Structure 1
Amino acid sequence: MTQDPILLKLLKDAGLDDKESRIYLAMLSVGHTTVQDIAKISELKRPIIYVVLEDLIKKGFANIIPNKKIKTYQATDPGAISAQMQTTAKNFSEMLPIFKTLSNQKSQKPKISFFDTKEGIQKIYDEINRQKSAVFIASNARLNHYFPGASKDWQKSYKTGYNKLISRTIVPHHPDDIKIAKDFLHVTDKVQIRTLSVFDECNMDIAVYGNKLAITTFEDVPFLVVIESKAVPTFFLPIFEILWKNAKKIT
C-alpha cells in the first residue's frame, strides 16, 4: 500500500526517521493494528518493525493495547509529536545563550588576514578611516612613496568632513614626516601627531583600531597583516601610551 509522501515528509521533518515515519503512519491509518498489518502497509519486514516499534514506544509515539491474544499496537495522538516539537524548540531557545557562549569561546582565537596587493592594503586603510578612533606608529612619507598622494587624499577627506577618524600617530623624526604631520595639523583638529627618532629606521607601519592590529611591511612589495582579537587593544594600547608620553609633540 502506497503511503502519502507528504505526510511521510512531515513526520521526517518532525524528527522521525524513514522507517519510524512509515510505521507510525501505518498505525495511525488503521487504529489498533498488528505487526502483520503494519508490514503490509509500510512494506517493511517484520523483524525490522518489531525493533522500530520498541523505539516508538520509548519515544511515546506508540503503545501496546493490553488484553489482546495477538500483540496489538496503536499510534499515540499526533498532538504528542507536536507537543514534543514545541518542548524541544522551547528548550533549545532557553539554552541558546549557552550555545552562543560555546561558539564565542571558539571564535576568541585570533583571526589573521593577509593582503599583498595595493588594492587589498587600500581596502584596509579605508576600513580604518571609517572607525571612530585609531592609533598609529607610521611614516606618512614612506606611505606616499608606495601610495603616491595618499596623505593629500586623507587631508582632503578631513577638509570635506568625510573623514571623522580621531587619531594619534607617532612618526619618525624625518623632515618629510614632520612636514606632512604639520600639514595634517593645519587641516584638522581630529589628529594628534608626535615624533620619536627610535622609529627612524623602522620599515613597518602599525595601526590599532577596534579589536584589530594592522601591520604593514614596506619591502619591494608592501605586505599587510591584520590580527583580529579582543586581546589586541588590551596588549598594545598600554605600550602605545608609554611611547606616546616619550614622543615629542609636533605643532
Structure 2
Amino acid sequence: MDYQKRTIDVLKNFGLSDNEALVYQKAVELGETSPFKISKATGIARTTVYAVLTDLSLKGLVELESATGLMKQQTKVIAKNPSILREIIHSKQKSLSTQEVDIVEILPWLKKEYLKDTTDSDFQFFPGMEGANYVMFDYDGVDQDSYIFDYQVPMDATGGKEMNKGVDRGIKKRVGGVGIEYNLTPMTDWTKHVLSYQVERNPHYLDRAQFRYPPFELQNFNVMVRLKGNRTWIVSVKDKEVWGIKIRSSNLTTSLICLHQALWKISSPITKDMIESWMPNPYLQAEKSNS
C-alpha cells in the first residue's frame, strides 16, 4: 500500500484541502521546520504555504512560532501530534450531538412553517352504499401491481348484477396489463363460496390474480383494502358503517404494502384446483336456472 497517498486521501476526507493535506503531511515528516523547507519539499509556492500554514494553525494541527509574526523564514513550524486528528473528530461528534438536540427541538416549528401551504397527500370520503360501490370498483387505469386485503364483500352490498359487472370490468383491465393482483383473504366457507362462484362464472377470474390465506383466523376484519402505487382504497359495507375512502399517501400505502408482503410470505396459496374442488357453486346454478 502507498501509505503516503493513502494518508493524503484520508486527510482530504477529514476536511483538508489538497494543499493543506500535503503541507500537514510534510510538516509531520520534517519535524520542526520552516515555510521555506516545506515549500521546497512540496513544490508549493512559499506565499501559498504561508496561507496554508495559517489555516492549519487555526484548525489546531500545527504551531507557528515567530518573533515577528507569521512571516517568511523566521517562522518555525511544528506539527502537533497526529493524535490530534482523532481528538478533533471526538470534539466534532460531541458538538454534532449537541447540535442535533437543538435541531430536533426546532424542527416541529420549521416543518410546520414548511408544510403549512402544501401537502403530498389527500383523501376523499364517499358515504353510503353509492360511495362504497364507487370506491370498490374504482379501477384507476394505472397498470401496477396491487395488494388487497379482502374478506370477500357480499353481493347484497351492490346487487348481483352490479357486483359481477364491476368484477368483470376489473378483470378486463387486469388481463390487458402487466400488473399482478395479490389477494390476501381468510379461508372460510364464505371465501370458498365467493371464489368458486366467480371462477365458475368467469374463467378469467384468476388471470393475473393470486390468492393466499394466512395461517390464522382474521377475526372482525370487515373492510376491503386495496393498495397500489401511492394510493389506498378502503371499503366498508358491514352493518350501518357503509362508506368508501380513497387516500393518496405514499407513507400509508407503502407501510400497508409492507405489512401485506410480510403476511403474504407466511400465507398458503389458494390454487385453481382447490377452487374447482369447491364447484359446482349452488348459488350460480340457481341463478342459471332462474335466468
What TM-score, normalized to structure 1?
Answer: 0.52
For residues 88-114 of structure 1, the C-alpha deviation after alignment (integer angstroms, 9 at most, x for no partner) is: 1233244445656849936894258xx
Match for residue 147 of structure 1 among 166, 170, 176: 170
Structure 1 residue 26, shift from structure 2 partner: 1.0
What count of residue pairs does the alignment treat as equivalent?
170
Supply the distance in 1 between the matched residues of 2:143 and 2:56 (Cα, whole angstroms): 60
Which residue of the partner structure matches residue 192 of structure 1?
Answer: 238
SS of equivalent residue, structure 1 residue 158 = coil
Larger deviation, residues 42-51 vs 60-69: 60-69
Which residue of the partner structure matches residue 186 of structure 2?
Answer: 158
> Contact 2:66 / 2:74 at 8 angstroms: preserved in 1?
no
CA 1:3–1:159: 2 relative to 1, 3 Å: closer
CA 1:83–1:155: 2 relative to 1, 3 Å: closer
Which residue of the partner structure matches residue 227 of structure 1?
Answer: 249
| Contiguous gaps of at least 5 residues in structure 1 | 131-137, 170-189, 200-204, 208-212, 214-225, 231-251
| Contiguous gaps of at least 5 residues in structure 2 | 123-138, 151-156, 175-180, 189-212, 225-235, 253-291
Which stretches of structure 1, 4 residues or longer, exceed 6 Å deviation after superposition? 153-156
CA 1:34–1:95: 2 relative to 1, 3 Å: same
Supply the distance in 2 between the matched residues of 1:228 and 1:118 (Cα, whole angstroms): 15
> Contact 1:39 / 1:49 at 8 angstroms: preserved in 2?
yes
Amino acid across the alignment from 1:88: K
Which residue of the partner structure matches residue 120 of structure 2?
Answer: 110
SS of equivalent residue, structure 1 residue 206 = strand
CA 1:167–1:44: 2 relative to 1, 3 Å: farther
Amino acid across the alignment from 2:92: T
Supply the distance in 2 between the matched residues of 1:67 and 1:54 (Cα, whole angstroms): 16
Q: Is 2:91 the counterpart of 1:91?
A: no
SS of equivalent residue, structure 2 residue 185 = helix
Which residue of the partner structure matches residue 51 of structure 2?
Answer: 51
SS of equivalent residue, structure 1 residue 64 = strand
Amino acid across the alignment from 1:159: M
SS of equivalent residue, structure 1 residue 78 = coil
Q: Is 2:58 the counterpart of 1:36?
A: no
Amino acid across the alignment from 1:192: K
For residues 217-249 of structure 1, the C-alpha deviation after alignment (integer angstroms, 9 at most, x for no partner) is: xxxxxxxxx23579xxxxxxxxxxxxxxxxxxx
> Contact 2:57 / 2:63 at 8 angstroms: preserved in 1?
yes
Structure 1 residue 63, shift from structure 2 partner: 1.3
Which residue of the partner structure matches residue 178 of structure 1?
Answer: none
% of aligned pairs identical? 18
Supply the distance in 2 between the matched residues of 1:111 and 1:97 (Cα, whole angstroms): 29
Supply the distance in 2 between the matched residues of 1:144 and 1:84 (Cα, whole angstroms): 66
Supply the distance in 2 between the matched residues of 1:155 and 1:6 (Cα, whole angstroms): 55
What TM-score, normalized to structure 2?
Answer: 0.45
SS of equivalent residue, structure 1 residue 4 = helix
RMSD: 4.5
Supply the distance in 1 between the matched residues of 2:27 and 2:55 (Cα, whole angstroms): 14
Which residue of the partner structure matches residue 23 of structure 2?
Answer: 23
Match for residue 72 of structure 1 among 76, 81, 101: 76
Supply the distance in 2 between the matched residues of 1:25 and 1:154 (Cα, whole angstroms): 61
